[in-house]
């Protein structure tokens, strides 16, 4: 015959084992649910990214993103139609050589004001060098981009070619 305390110990151990198994089952269900949730989130993100890319690539305007210095890190293909420049030629380089010397102070001041305010800009006219068509007047609009910690890391925007409109206004 086994002592009563041993039976109580075995019963307690069995209850502990059953509780552990139940807890593991619950955790597995929660992990599976979170995995489904994350997978759905990734799929939605991929759809959203594809939608954005499609809009950007089919825009009549030059769509871009830039770092805090104003250096482009993304450019849609429209820059080729507007300036005759391949998108990769404007990415990762200082934009100053592409900007009219008289407009460079405006470009730099606009960037500095946007950084100081944590904002963007709207319809700022800047002349950009075109490979085949001389200087083109582009109205730039941009909004700030922030990282997960809330720090501003750059800008995203678009430039619209308004050269003909500006020339008509001057006549």
Q: Write the pLDDT tens digit of every residue in 117-149.
A: 999 999 999 999 998 889 999 999 999 999 999
Question: What are the helix (H) ranges across 2-149?
Answer: 4-57, 78-83, 87-90, 104-117
Best CA proximity match to 76, nearest among 64, 85, 65, 66: 64
pTM (2 d.p.)? 0.69
* 3-class secondary structure, 126: strand
- What mean pLDDT is predicted for residues 33-41? 83
Task: State residue 113's pLDDT score.
Answer: 97
Task: State residue 132's pLDDT score.
Answer: 84
What value does the mean pLDDT of the chain take? 90
Give me the residues paired with residue 61 across strands.
none
Q: Which residue has better confidence, 41 or 33?
A: 33
Task: State residue 43's pLDDT score.
Answer: 79
Does residue 1 have a pLDDT over 90? no
Token pair for residue 112?
Answer: 């500095």
Whole-number Å distance between alpha carbons of 153 and 66: 9
* 3-class secondary structure, 110: helix
Tokens 């759905």 appear where?
A: 40
| Consecutive H or E run containing 167 | helix 163-170
């Amino acid at each position: 015959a086994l002592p009563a305390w041993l039976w109580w110990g075995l019963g307690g151990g069995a209850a502990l084992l059953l509780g552990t198994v139940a807890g593991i089952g619950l955790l597995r269900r929660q992990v599976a649910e979170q995995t489904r949730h994350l997978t759905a989130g990734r799929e939605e993100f991929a759809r959203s990214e594809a939608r954005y890319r499609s809009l950007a690539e089919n825009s009549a305007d030059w769509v871009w993103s830039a770092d805090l210095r104003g250096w482009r890190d993304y450019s849609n293909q429209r820059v080729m139609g507007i300036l005759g420049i391949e998108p990769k030629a404007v990415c990762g380089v200082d934009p100053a050589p592409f900007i009219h010397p008289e407009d460079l102070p405006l470009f730099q001041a606009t960037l500095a004001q946007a950084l100081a305010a944590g904002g963007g800009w709207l319809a700022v006219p800047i002349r950009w060098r075109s490979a085949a068509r001389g200087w083109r007047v582009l109205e730039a609009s941009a909004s700030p981009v922030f990282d997960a910690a809330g720090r501003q890391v750059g800008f995203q925007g678009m430039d619209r070619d308004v050269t003909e409109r500006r020339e008509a206004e001057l006549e």
